[in-house]
Structure formats: structure tokens, C-alpha cells
A and B are shown apart, each in its own frame.
Chain A
Amino acid sequence: MTQQNGSNGDQPIIICQDVHKWFDDFHVLRGIDLTVEVGEVVVIFGPSGSGKSTFIRTINRLEEHQRGEIVVDGIELSHDIRNIEAIRREVGMVFQQFNLFPHLTAIQNVTLGPIWVRRWPKKKAEEEAMKLLERVGIPEQAEKYPAQLSGGQQQRVAIARALAMQPKIMLFDEPTSALDPEMIKEVLDVMMELAESGMTMLVVTHEMGFARAAADRLLFFDGGVIVERGTPEQIFNNPQEERTKLFLSQILQH
């Protein structure tokens, strides 16, 4: 751990400056500036292809950025592989398609990281994993395989798996988009609880109810830039940009 490590609490935990990314010649991210404080919940929304998923994937370096600077918890993301692995231990991620490991049971999914990355003894990892499965409300499913669980249960296991690494930041990439309607609430409830517990969260979602209730800030992405940012109050009641108004009217119509 370096001296500039941000665990003292008054430094921002994520600093992005002028982040650019290209997929081949396609310019996906066109200069993102963002500072996130410890414990903040930031909801990112916008049309598909706007670069919002790509952006949160750059924060744990699942995607590489080609210009600009990203500093997470005092560590700059660079080509240095040790930095990347250090960051990934601090940042948990939940995916749209859950991405559970299908050959492992729920509890094995959760204990894999602690045992192999954090080098915890198996017993300790399992005890902690059971606590997490209780926290997300499915301790009785511990010995089941992902294919035997409903979508909502799978996503909750995925959240427990990410939390098992004791991250300082949680990234959510459209966590409820692949779920049947009746299962969305059980996942959002877990996320609400997490937000209230003080976790720093970046959430890509179109669940505006969740955004209104949990977010400290909203970011509207379009065309690879942050078009508008503000509190839920400002964005929902008084959006400034035409594109924001149009998009909100489209998704809030129903």
C-alpha cells in the first residue's frame, strides 16, 4: 500500500480525467471526467451504445483506456500488472448476465476469490461466504449449482461473490436487465441495503425508482460523454439538456 492510499476518507476514491477509449477506430469514450467520494452512490444511465458500460469496465480495467488518467483508491491504472491486480481486489463487479461459474456451487463461487486471491484458509472463507449469502437472503441455496437457481437468486450470489473480496467499490453493470420482472425487486433490495451500509457504488441501470431512492448523483451518458450530471432531484425535476429530457421522457412514459 502506498502513502497516497485513499483510505483516510477525505480523498476521492475514484478520479477520472479526460478518459478516452477506442474500439479499433470507433471512439467510444470521448473525454470522461468524474470524481467519486467514499460512500457515494452514482447511477449512470443513457441510451445503449452511449459508452456507459464500457466506462465502468475501465474502472477495474476489464477495458483499457487509451488516453487520460484513472486513479482508484490512490493507485493509478496503468500497464503495470501488479497495479491492475491490486485494483481488482478493491473493486467488486456485478454483471448483466450474472457470469457465475456454472461448474461451482453457489458457495464455491463466493469462496473462490478469498481462497485463491486473498489466500484465506478454506474454513474462514466458507464462514464469511455463509454470512454474505445470509446478507443477500439465500443461505439455503449455498450447495446448489447456478443452473438450479432462478435469475434473481443467481444475481444475488453474484453480488455475494463480489462482496466476498471485501471491496471498497462496487460496480454494477445493468444488474437487473436480464431478470424477469418479479425478480428485479429482490436484487434491488439487496443493492439498497448495500447503498445504505455506506458502500461506494457505480450503478449502470434504467431502474429510475432505485436511482431516486438510493443515488447521490446521476450521470446521463450519450455519445461517449457525460451530457448531464446532478442529484436525482435536479435530473428528474429540472433537466437542463434537451437530450436528457428526451431520453427521460422515453423511459418514464410507461
Chain B
Amino acid sequence: MSTIAPELERPTTTIGPIKWVRKNLFNTWYNTLLTLLALWLLWRFVPAFVEWVLASNWDPILSRPVLYFVGQYPAAELWRIGVIVALVSLNFGLSWGAWGGPLRTFAVVLMAGFAVVALLPVSLDTIGLVGRLFMAANIAVVAGGFALGQTRAGQTRWVLAIGLVTFIVILLLMRGFPGVEMVPLVQTTRWGGLMLNLLVAAVGIVASFPLGVLLALGRRSKLPVVSVFSTLFIELVRGVPLVSILFMMSVMLPLFLPEQIRVDRVLRALIGITLFSAAYMAENVRGGLQAIPEGQYDAARAIGLNGPLTTLLIVLPQALRLVIPAIVGQFISLFKDTTLIIIVGINEILGIGKSIVLGNPEWVTAQSEVYVFIGLIFWAFTYAMSYSSRRLERALGVGER
């Protein structure tokens, strides 16, 4: 009775490739059917697509690629965009060094992106040597930021502070100052391209996140005024398409404001997008708040934490972690929604593509190429976002239930 059963080694269960195919692709009649269907689709479309790519007219993209990224930003001031990109790289490196783990993926994805652009197999007329060297240099900037960040390992507050300062510096640098010779004012009407999409998305994310959290907390507030206002705002905004909010901001807002006050076009779009995103954010966060068991509140109150501290230290950290996938999904759709600001006359990347095609008679037939190119850019960014977020979830999941 008291003999201990011997510990045995687990038998090896590796299978060969043919066995794997049999087991996973042809194990039942319907799986076989699906496999054959997929093969037929690939055989039908991949060669056709390759043929299309080779036969297409990529001139609208290859001749002026910069236009897609910065719009009509003055050529003499393009160095400022370079500095901004370098600042972003530096920040990613710094946070990777200081925070480690979860942010590593973001930094690595960014470096991979730079490497791809630097080595892209297109002619030097399209991406010049300077441009390629700049991309390569940015990899070094990320790495340098990493080394610098490691001297501040674990100090996440420091990283956040630097990030916020950088964000403001970027906005100021982009805009410049009237009368300053080094960085003259660049009107927002000259801003454009992917740069503007990214800017609007970044500002929208940074501003709508806290606003959404506040609205979510407000909706659950015991004070009737706060909860009614929050609920009303959320339901109103969610019931209206983004396009109409943008129209309202650009057409109706000036009617309500005194004539002397003119809100900048880009700013109006920013406010519209932020309010729209905040309402959705609030509902996502509310889902997380509802998942926190009552016992957590009991325990927090029992050790004497007051309401605000309970929310800040106990409820929000758990609730937000639960809704990371939903929040990232929302950020991704916010980024894609930035193409809608074209309707209020802002030259974001899709608008630029359209005017390039329509502006040159010989390129009118090359519409699909332009849209495929723009689609590819959006896919690259959104995939990087969702990939990084999946890694972030796993990194933050440590010790959870």
C-alpha cells in the first residue's frame, strides 16, 4: 500500500508532416471539402493578384510618396517631421528600457517597421538614400532610448511624464510659432497625409481615454445629476454616426459661437472624434466596472479606503485590465475612422490619394492601386496595434485569477 508509483517519462508524440496533413486537413469528408475549396480559391486568386500587381500602374504612388505621408507640409520644414519621428522612436526606446516586458513588443515592432522601409525594394528615386539612412538611424535611436531607459528601470511614472512632454513638444513643433525664423508657423491647412491621421488618432486616444473613464464612473455615480448627464451624453453620441458629428462640429458650431471666435478646422475634427470615441470608451469601461465583484468593494471599505481611493486603487486597475481587448479594438477603429475627416475638408491620407488620382488624367485608371496602397498602410498600423495589444494582455495577465 505504501509503495510509491514510479515516475515515468512521457512518451514522445511527434508526428511527421504527412501525418499532420492527414490529421488536420483531411480527417473528415467536410474538412477535406473545405481544404480543397481553399486550395482552389488560392489557385484562382493568388496568380491573378500577382499578375495585377505586376501589370499595374504604381506611378501615382512611386512618383510622390511623401505626399501620402505629410500632405502639403512645406518641403523646407520637412526636417521637423523627421525630428518628430525620431522623438517618437526615442520614447518607445525609453519606455522599453524603463518598463521592460510589455513594451518590448511595441519597440521591436517599430524597429521592424523602420527596417522594412529602409530596405524596401523600390528605386532610390522613390525612397532616397537620405530617407533610407534616416529610417536605419531610427532603429539606433530606439536602441539608444532603450539603453537610456534602463538607467531608470521600473520608474513608469518617469516614462509617462516624458511621453506626455514629448507629445506636447511634437504638437508645438508641428505647428511652429509665428515670427520665429527657426520654426515658422505652419497653418493646419497645410497639415495632411498619414501624419494627420496618426495625429488625430493619437490625440483622440489620449483625450478620449480619461474622458471615457470619467463618463463610465459618472454613469454609475450615486449623484443623479452626474449620472443622468453622463448617460444622456453617452446615449446621444452613440446614437449618431461619426460623420454627422463631424458635420455638426464644422457647420453648426460656428453658428453658436460669436463671430470673433473661430475654432481651427483640425481642432474641430479633433473635438468631434474625441467626444465620439469617449462615449464608446465609457461603455467599454462600464463593462469592466460591472465585472468587479462586490467583495472587492467590501474589502476596500473594510480597510478604511474612501470612495475615490477605492475606485483608483482597486476598481479601475482591475476593470481596465479586463477591457484591454475592447479598448484596443476601439482605438483601432478610431484610427480607421480618421479617414472620415476628409468630409470636413481636411487632407488626410485618403483625401490625398483621391486628389492625386483625380488631379492627373493619366492616373484616373490607377485608382485601385492607390486605394490598395492606402489600405496596406492602414493594415500595417492596425495589425501592429492589435499584435502589440495581445502581447500586452498576456504580460499584464500575470497573477490574474
Task: Given A95-B298, A97-B295, answer yes or no on A162-B400 (Cβ-Cβ < 8 Å).
Answer: no
Chain B 293-308 near chain A by CB (<8 Å), digits 1 or 0: 1011011111111100
Which residues of the partner chain A approach B314 to less than 8 Å between Cβ atoms?
Answer: 101
Is the CB–CB distance between B321 and A88 below 8 Å? no
**Docked complex Cα distance between A119 and B47 (Å):** 69
Interface size class of A (residues with CB under 8 A): 20 to 34
From the candidates B301, B318, B400, name the one contacting A88 in the complex (CB within 8 A): B301
Task: Give min CB distance, B310 to chain A, whole Å.
Answer: 10
Task: Give min CB distance, B235 to chain A, whole Å.
Answer: 29
Q: Is A145 an interface residue (CB 8 A)?
A: yes
Is the CB–CB distance between B302 and A103 below 8 Å? no
Task: Give min CB distance, A61 to chain B, whole Å.
Answer: 8
Is the CB–CB distance between A161 and B306 below 8 Å? no
Task: Given A85-B304, A117-B305, A147-B400, answer yes or no on A99-B299 (Cβ-Cβ < 8 Å).
Answer: yes
Q: Is A51 an interface residue (CB 8 A)?
A: no
Which residues of the partner chain B approach A158 to less than 8 Å between Cβ atoms?
Answer: 299
From the candidates B293, B301, B303, B400, name the one contacting A161 in the complex (CB within 8 A): B303
* Chain B contacts with A in 266-303, Cβ cutoff 8 A: 293, 295-296, 298-303
Is the CB–CB distance between A102 and B302 below 8 Å? no
Of listed B295, B296, B302, B399, residue having the most chain A CB within 10 A: B302
Task: Give min CB distance, A194 to chain B, whole Å.
Answer: 16
Is the CB–CB distance between B302 and A88 below 8 Å? yes
* Chain B contacts with A in 298-328, Cβ cutoff 8 A: 298-306, 309, 313-314, 317-318, 321
Is the CB–CB distance between B399 and A144 below 8 Å? yes
Task: Given A62-B298, A92-B302, A99-B299, answer yes or no on A147-B313 (Cβ-Cβ < 8 Å).
Answer: no
Which residues of the partner chain B approach A102 to less than 8 Å between Cβ atoms?
Answer: 318, 399-401
Q: Is A249 an interface residue (CB 8 A)?
A: no
**Docked complex Cα distance between A102 and B397 (Å):** 11
Q: Is A146 an interface residue (CB 8 A)?
A: yes
**Docked complex Cα distance between A62 and B296 (Å):** 12
Is the CB–CB distance between B305 and A116 below 8 Å? yes
Q: Is B15 an interface residue (CB 8 A)?
A: no
Is the CB–CB distance between B303 and A117 below 8 Å? yes
Is the CB–CB distance between B399 and A88 below 8 Å? no
- Write the chain B residue with the least CB distance to A144: B399
Task: Give min CB distance, A73 to chain B, whole Å.
Answer: 14
- Write the chain B residue with the least CB distance to A60: B302
Q: Is B5 an interface residue (CB 8 A)?
A: no
From the candidates B309, B317, B398, B399, name the one contacting A116 in the complex (CB within 8 A): B309
* Chain A contacts with B in 47-105, Cβ cutoff 8 A: 60, 62, 85, 88-89, 91-93, 95, 97, 99-103, 105
From the candidates B302, B317, B399, name the one contacting A146 in the complex (CB within 8 A): B399
Which residues of the partner chain B approach A148 to less than 8 Å between Cβ atoms?
Answer: 399
- Write the chain B residue with the least CB distance to A84: B301
- Write the chain A residue with the least CB distance to B300: A101
**Docked complex Cα distance between A209 and B303 (Å):** 29
Is the CB–CB distance between A117 and B399 below 8 Å? no
Which residues of the partner chain B approach A62 to less than 8 Å between Cβ atoms?
Answer: 298, 301-302
Is the CB–CB distance between A103 and B317 below 8 Å? yes
Which residues of the partner chain B approach A165 to less than 8 Å between Cβ atoms?
Answer: 303-304
Q: Is A42 an interface residue (CB 8 A)?
A: no
- Write the chain B residue with the least CB distance to A113: B303
- Write the chain B residue with the least CB distance to A90: B304
From the candidates A85, A88, A147, A161, name the one contacting B401 in the complex (CB within 8 A): A147
Which residues of the partner chain B approach A144 to less than 8 Å between Cβ atoms?
Answer: 399
Is the CB–CB distance between A101 and B296 below 8 Å? yes
Task: Give min CB distance, B325 to chain A, whole Å.
Answer: 17
Which residues of the partner chain A approach B313 to less than 8 Å between Cβ atoms?
Answer: 112, 116
Is the CB–CB distance between A99 and B399 below 8 Å? no
**Docked complex Cα distance between A116 and B401 (Å):** 25
Which residues of the partner chain A approach B301 to less than 8 Å between Cβ atoms?
Answer: 60, 62, 88
Task: Give min CB distance, A85 to chain B, whole Å.
Answer: 6
Is the CB–CB distance between A101 and B299 below 8 Å? yes
Is the CB–CB distance between B304 and A89 below 8 Å? yes
Task: Given A101-B296, A145-B398, answer yes or no on A85-B303 (Cβ-Cβ < 8 Å).
Answer: no
**Docked complex Cα distance between A110 and B300 (Å):** 12
**Docked complex Cα distance between A119 and B55 (Å):** 71
Which residues of the partner chain A approach B300 to less than 8 Å between Cβ atoms?
Answer: 101
Is the CB–CB distance between A162 and B398 below 8 Å? no
Binding site for A on B (CB under 8 A): 293, 295-296, 298-306, 309, 313-314, 317-318, 321, 398-401
Binding site for B on A (CB under 8 A): 60, 62, 85, 88-89, 91-93, 95, 97, 99-103, 105, 112-113, 116-117, 144-148, 158, 161-162, 164-165
In addition to A92-B303, A99-B298, A165-B303, 16 A-B residue pairs with Cβ atoms within 8 Å of each other are: A60-B302, A88-B301, A95-B298, A95-B299, A101-B314, A116-B309, A116-B313, A117-B303, A117-B304, A117-B309, A144-B399, A145-B399, A145-B400, A147-B399, A147-B401, A162-B303
16 inter-chain pairs at a CB distance below 8 angstroms, sorted by A residue, are A60-B301, A62-B302, A88-B303, A91-B302, A99-B299, A101-B299, A101-B300, A102-B318, A102-B401, A113-B303, A113-B304, A113-B305, A146-B399, A162-B303, A165-B303, A165-B304
Enumerate the 10 nearest inter-chain pairs by beta-carbon distance, A residue then B residue, closest first: A145-B399, A113-B303, A99-B299, A99-B295, A93-B302, A88-B304, A117-B304, A89-B304, A103-B317, A103-B318
